[in-house]
Every structure is written in structure tokens, then in C-alpha cells.
Amino acid sequence: MNLRRAARIVRQSAKSDIEQDVVIDAIGYAGNYFLRETKMSKGEFILTLTAGVETFTIDQVPDFRPERLLMGETTPYQRLDYRTYREVAGQYSTDTTVTVSSSTPRIIAFRTPERGIVWPAASATKTDIRIVYYRPLVDIEEHDDNIKLNIPDEYAYDVMQFGATAVAEHRVPDSLFQNVAWERFLQMTKKAKEEVAFAGIQEGPATN
């Protein structure tokens, strides 16, 4: 579904005329809520580490943020634990009682959205970490009618008809919970989240 059709659904579903800017903001709010809850849109990239270097920098992945991390894994598919930067930079990096059975990183942490640290440092000349994260709604601020929304088509209509329409009509988040359409949107979002989890494709970072 592109932005033009999404906006048309919202305007047709609303009980009164709504300005285009309000419609776009409502689509953004409902779309991001749906994707944040369901993790249905995913992105991934390879983080390449060099031998003996614990720190890393992520470039050219503008929609990645640490809170969107679903999984980090090394070859052959060994998942990394996720810890705070303070834990890794302090406890793990300086604790001489910790024995390392492998020279492959086992823990990852972020100091900023672009910079982080792993433990232990890789001993191989080149170590790749596959990072999987959930993606927010595509940027619709430019009002490009042809841009395709990254919400699966089988859910997109309900997201617009119920979620975005409720937001556009009420505009005040606190009042949304009094809206029947918003309640239906929450119910379909919950169901979609359960479907994703049942399919085994919603993965969160390891924590132990």
C-alpha cells in the first residue's frame, strides 16, 4: 500500500474533513505503533570486526537504533547476549576471573546508536556479526504519495481504517482509548503480534 491510498482510506473513514498534514501525522503515529508492537518489518546488516578490537561503529544504517535490536549473531549462528555498555566496558573487560572459551564475541552493547562494544574481542582477522532489527515506518514526512509503506498489505488497511483514522479524529493520545476504532486497532495489533510470534519470526536479543 502506498501513501496515497493510505491517506485516502483515512479520509474516507473519518467522520469529518481532515487536513492532509493531520492525516500524514496520524498514519505515522498508527503505523509506527503497529510496527513497534509486532516487529513485522525487519532490517539486517553485517557488522565486520577486526582482530583484537572491541569497539565498533555503525555507518549508513539510518533507521537502526539499539532499542530496535532483535538479534545479533556470529557465524555459525551463535547468538550474542545483550548487555549495557557499562557492564561490558567495566565488568567484563576488566574482570580477570572471567575465562573466555572462545575468541568469538559473545556479548554486545551500545554506547550510542552508532557506537558500541563487544566482548571478548575477536581473534580472527575478520569476524562478521549479523544484526537483525525491527524497522520503523518508512519516512513519510516528504508526503511522497508513491512511497510504499512497509506494513504488509493484509494488515495495512485495518491500520489505516481503525488506527490512523482514530488518531486523525482525536489528535490527543489520551482520548484515543475512548474511541471504538482505536480499540479495534489495538485488538488487531495484538492478534498480528501473536501471529508473528507463533510463526517464530519475532526474535528478541538474548539476555543470558
Distance (Å, rounded) from C-alpha 124 to C-alpha 103? 8
Q: Alpha-carbon distance 139 to 27, whole Å?
A: 11
Q: What is the pLDDT of residue 76?
A: 64
Q: What is the pLDDT of residue 171?
A: 72
Q: What pTM, to 2 d.p., does this model score?
A: 0.84
Question: Per-residue confidence of the chain (208 residues) as pLDDT tens digits?
Answer: 999 999 999 999 998 889 999 999 999 999 999 999 999 999 999 999 988 888 899 988 999 999 999 999 987 678 899 988 888 877 666 655 445 555 788 899 999 999 999 988 888 788 899 999 999 999 998 889 999 999 999 999 999 999 999 999 987 666 787 789 999 999 999 999 998 886 655 555 444 3
**Cβ contacts of 67 within 8 Å, gap of 6 or more:** none
Q: Which pLDDT score, from 0 to 100, does residue 122 have? A: 84
Residues 48, 75: Cα–Cα separation, whole Å: 12
Could you tell me which of 52, 82, 71 has the C-alpha nearest to residue 129? 71
Query: CA triplet 60, 54, 82: central angle to 5 degrees?
Result: 75
Report the amino acid identity of residue 57: T
* Phi, psi dihedral angles at 129 (to 5 degrees): -115, 125
What is the spatial distance between Cα 138 and Cα 32, in angstroms, rounded to a whole number?
A: 9
Distances (CA, A) of 91 to 67, 85, 114: 22, 10, 22
Q: How far apart are CA 77 and CA 75, in angstroms?
A: 5
